[in-house]
Structures are given as C-alpha cells and as structure tokens.
C-alpha cells in the first residue's frame, strides 16, 4: 500500500511538471486529452490507494484477531499443561493408593492368618478345657452316683442286716434257749460256726465298699493327672513361645543357631544324610582370601552342589505380629522387608557358590524358617522376589525347601539305581567275556580230545589191525607157550589153547 501511494505521488509530480510545461507552451488538443487521461488515471490510482488502505486496515484487524487467537491458544495450552500435570499427579496418587491398598490387603491377610492361628490355638485349648471340664463333671457325676449307690446300699444292707439279724437272733435265741434248756452249755466252736455266714457277708460288704472307694480315688487321680497334664501343656506352649520370642529378639548368634536348627530339622525330615548328602559349615575362601562358611551345602549327583543360608533377622516381623496399631504394624512390616532385602544384598556380595567351586549352582537358597514371615515380606515389597532373582538368590520356606530336598533325595535314589545298573552291566560284560573265553577253551579242549581220539584210534589200528601189528605177533608168542610173570591180557589170549607149547627154560639144558 505504501508503494502504491508513493507511485501515485510520483505520478502527480510528473503530471504537475507536464502541466507546467504545457502552460508555458501553446496548448494542443491532444495534450489536453492526454492530461485528462492522466487525471482520470490519477483519480483511479487514488481510488485504488484508498481501497488498498481499507484492505490494509482490514488486514491489521485480521492480524490483531490472529494475535488475540494466538494468545488464547497459548492460554489454552498452558491450561492443558496444567491439566496434564494434574492428571499425572492424580495417576501417581492413584498408584500410591493402589500400592497402599495392596499393602493393606497383605497386612489384612497376615492379620487373618495370625488370627486364624490364634483362633485355632484358642479352639484347641478350649476343646481341651471343655474335655477336661466334661471329664471332671463326669467324674463328679460318677462320684455322686457312686456315693448315692453306696448310701442306698448301706441303707438297704443295714435294714436287711437288721431284719435278718433280728430274725436270726430271734430264731437263734429261741433255739439257744431251747438248747440251753436241753444242754448245760455250748462250745465256742459251735458259736463261731453259727456266726460265720454273717461274718462272711460283712467281709464281702467291706470289700465292695473298699473297691468303690479305690475306684473313686483312681478316677480322681486320673482326672487330676489330666488337669495337671493340660496345665503343663499350656505352660510348655507358653515356654516355647517365650523361647521363640527370645530367640528371635536375641543376639545374632542365637538367631543363627535357631535358624540352623530349623534347617537341620527340615534336612533330616527330607531323608538326606549328614556327611553324605549335605555338609554343614563347610569352610572355603573367596578370591580376596576371605573365609566363608555357608550354613549348608547340599550335594547333588554328578558332583553338583547347592548352597543354603538360614541367617535371617525376624525381629521386625515379630514386632509386626505384636503390634497393636495398624501404623506400627505397617512400619514393622516395612522394616522386615528392608531387612530381608539387605540380607539378599549381603548374600550376593559374599557369593557363596563361587567360593564353593565351579560345581556349585550359581544360586543361593535363602531359607526363611517361618512361612508367614516370608509371605509377609513378599507382600510388603512386591519387587523383593525379582530383586533376589537378579542377584541369584532364591527364597525358600520350610514347605518349599522340603519339596526341593525331596527332589534331591529322588535324584540320589535315581543316581544310585543308575550306578547299580551300570555295575550290573559291567558285571554282565565280564561274565559274557569269561563265558566266551571258556567256550573258546572248551572248543580247543574238544578239538584236542578229538585229535587224541584220532591218534588213539590210529595207534590201536597199528597195534591190532595193520600188517605190522604187534598184538597178533604177541598172541602168536603166547600160543607158542611164551609166558610172563603177569597174567595175560585178554587181547593176548591165544585163540586155541590146545596149541600152547611149553618152551623150555634155558636152565633145563
């Protein structure tokens, strides 16, 4: 627009110069027409300049509207960023709330487990107490019935005895009076014979009463023993609970010994033998020369080994179990998970498998002797399991470790069977080799015997059947009367004994 205005001004200047020149000269008709044309063009240029100025105004208005729209867009972008930040904060709060909800759920599960354990103990103790009370009530009832029976029996026996005694005394009195009248006296033996049935009845009654009282005393003793046993059982349970609490809260040595004892119980229950299938406190040195002693090194077939560690700190878990407030329990569970995570770091730094040797698996088993303690730690820290896996550490509770050790026991049994089968195969191979050698020797012996038989047959043929045979000649000598000191063999006997001739000895000449 400014350029157009400048051009219009320049055109006006040219027109003015032209008019001045025309005014100084004689006007011509064509010049007047040219001036009119230029004036009309100038008017059009001015009109066009005014239109351009209006367009420029509208352009400025549009630019101002665009600037305002850009400012509003920036305002909307800032509001969107604020909403995005608020949404991120809301997502973080939601994740935190979800994590806290999961922690609360794990806490509720642990509390429910502890409550179930306590309820089971309370139910068992209540059942024992109810049984003891029932036994006591039954004994008291039996005692009352026995007392009533004894009193009733005593009353009946007393009445019967009084009636019988009165009747007998009356009869005996009459008889005695009669006898006294008929005789001057009666011996003491006759009186004892008369009173003997009553003495026997009194003795039987006394034995029955003594038996009833002895049975009652025995029942009381049994009841007292049951109550005392229940009392001692409760005291023993309380003592074991106190001992467990002291062990968990004691020094590191006591906690380590308790964990090793629990691990030893699991190892023995799995069927493995100490010194054969596993070793305790095996010493080894790492690359830096430090002395390391893993709790247990379990042997596997093919000279493989697995390291098990049981030194776990359960003080925080015990605090969580004894906490009254949910906040205190949550804090104790958090400390328990942190302690277990730190123990995983310690095992990863020690690297027991590398110190044991190349035959050891590159994973250390971390034994937690209480099922609830392990589940509570994994519930409090969702990333604890993955954290341990990354550092070649595997958690094991008594149940899971028992399953693993059972598998190890089966592997040893299978290895034993395989070795036995290998030995049987080797023994069978040796037996087959020996049998093959024997058969070869037997064949050689048979061949030798056959050769000897052939030789024997040839020799006998030469002895008996060949033209130069010796036997016919010897038989001929025997026929001619030759005699030896021994009896002739059957093959040397002459065919016709009548042809025998006596050959005179040289001495007869």
Cα–Cα distance measured from residue 39 to residue 33, given in angstroms and rounded to the nearest whole number? 10
Cα–Cα distance measured from residue 298 to residue 361, given in angstroms and rounded to the nearest whole number? 10
- 390 with 350: CB under 8 angstroms? no
The pLDDT value recorded for residue 361 is 82
The pLDDT value recorded for residue 103 is 76
- How many helices, marked H, and strands, marked E, lie in the chain? 11, 7
- 394 with 135: CB under 8 angstroms? no
pLDDT per residue rounded down to tens, the chain (509 residues): 556 656 666 666 666 666 556 555 544 556 567 667 777 776 776 677 677 677 777 777 777 877 787 787 788 778 778 778 877 787 877 787 777 777 777 776 776 776 666 666 656 666 665 665 666 666 566 666 666 666 665 566 556 555 655 565 466 556 545 654 554 444 455 555 655 655 566 666 667 666 766 766 676 676 666 556 655 655 665 565 556 555 555 555 666 667 778 888 888 888 888 888 888 877 766 666 677 788 788 888 888 888 888 777 778 877 888 878 888 888 888 888 888 888 888 888 888 788 777 778 888 888 888 888 888 888 888 888 899 888 888 888 888 888 888 888 888 888 888 888 888 878 777 777 777 887 788 788 888 888 888 888 887 777 777 666 777 777 777 777 777 777 767 766 776 544 444 444 444 44
- 343 with 317: CB under 8 angstroms? no
The two tokens of residue 21 are 């020149």
Alpha-carbon Rg for the chain, nearest whole angstrom, is 64
What's the predicted TM-score (pTM) here?
0.41
- 253 with 311: CB under 8 angstroms? no
């Amino acid at each position: 627009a400014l350029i157009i205005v400048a051009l219009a001004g320049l055109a006006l200047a040219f027109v003015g110069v032209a008019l001045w020149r025309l005014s100084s000269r004689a006007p011509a008709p064509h010049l007047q027409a040219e001036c009119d044309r230029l004036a009309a063009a100038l008017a059009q240029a001015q009109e066009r300049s005014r239109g351009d100025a209006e367009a420029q105004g509208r352009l400025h208005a549009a630019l101002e509207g665009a600037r305002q729209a850009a400012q509003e867009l920036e305002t909307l972008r800032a509001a969107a960023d604020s909403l995005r930040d608020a949404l991120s904060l809301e997502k973080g709060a939601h994740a935190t709330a979800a994590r806290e909800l999961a922690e609360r759920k794990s806490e509720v599960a642990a509390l429910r487990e502890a409550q179930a354990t306590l309820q089971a103990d309370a139910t068992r103790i209540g059942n024992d107490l109810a049984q003891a009370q029932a036994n006591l009530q039954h004994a008291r009832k039996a005692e009352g019935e026995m007392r009533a029976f004894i009193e009733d029996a005593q009353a009946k026996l007393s009445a019967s005895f009084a009636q019988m005694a009165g009747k007998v005394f009356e009869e005996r009195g009459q008889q005695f009076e009669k006898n006294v009248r008929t005789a001057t006296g009666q011996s003491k033996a006759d009186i004892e014979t008369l009173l003997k049935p009553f003495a026997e009845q009194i003795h039987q009654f006394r034995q029955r009463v003594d038996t009833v009282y002895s049975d009652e005393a025995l029942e009381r003793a049994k009841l007292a023993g049951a109550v005392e046993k229940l009392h001692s059982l409760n005291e023993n349970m309380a003592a074991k609970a106190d001992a467990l609490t002291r062990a968990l809260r004691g020094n590191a040595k006591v906690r380590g010994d308790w964990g090793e004892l629990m691990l030893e119980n699991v190892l023995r229950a799995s069927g493995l033998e100490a010194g054969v299938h596993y070793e305790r406190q095996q010493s080894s040195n790492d690359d830096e020369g430090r002395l390391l002693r893993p709790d247990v090194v379990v042997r596997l077939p093919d000279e493989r080994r697995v390291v098990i560690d049981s030194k776990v700190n359960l003080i925080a878990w015990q605090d969580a179990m004894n906490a009254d407030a949910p906040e205190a329990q949550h804090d104790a569970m958090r400390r328990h998970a942190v302690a277990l995570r730190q123990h995983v770091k310690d095992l990863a730094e020690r690297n027991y498998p590398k110190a044991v040797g190349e035959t050891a698996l590159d994973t250390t088993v971390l034994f937690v002797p209480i099922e609830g303690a392990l589940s509570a730690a994994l519930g409090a820290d969702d990333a604890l399991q993955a954290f341990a896996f990354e550092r070649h550490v595997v958690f094991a509770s008594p149940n899971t470790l028992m399953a693993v050790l059972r598998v190890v026991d089966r592997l040893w049994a299978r290895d034993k069977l395989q070795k036995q089968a290998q030995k049987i195969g080797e023994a069978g191979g040796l037996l087959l080799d020996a049998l093959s050698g024997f058969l070869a020797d037997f064949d050689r012996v048979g061949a030798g015997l056959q050769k000897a038989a052939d030789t024997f047959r040839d020799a006998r043929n030469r002895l008996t059947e060949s033209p130069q045979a010796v036997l016919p000649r010897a038989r001929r000598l025997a026929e001619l009367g030759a005699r030896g000191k021994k009896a002739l063999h059957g093959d040397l006997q002459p065919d016709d004994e009548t042809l025998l001739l006596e050959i005179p000895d040289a001495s007869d000449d």
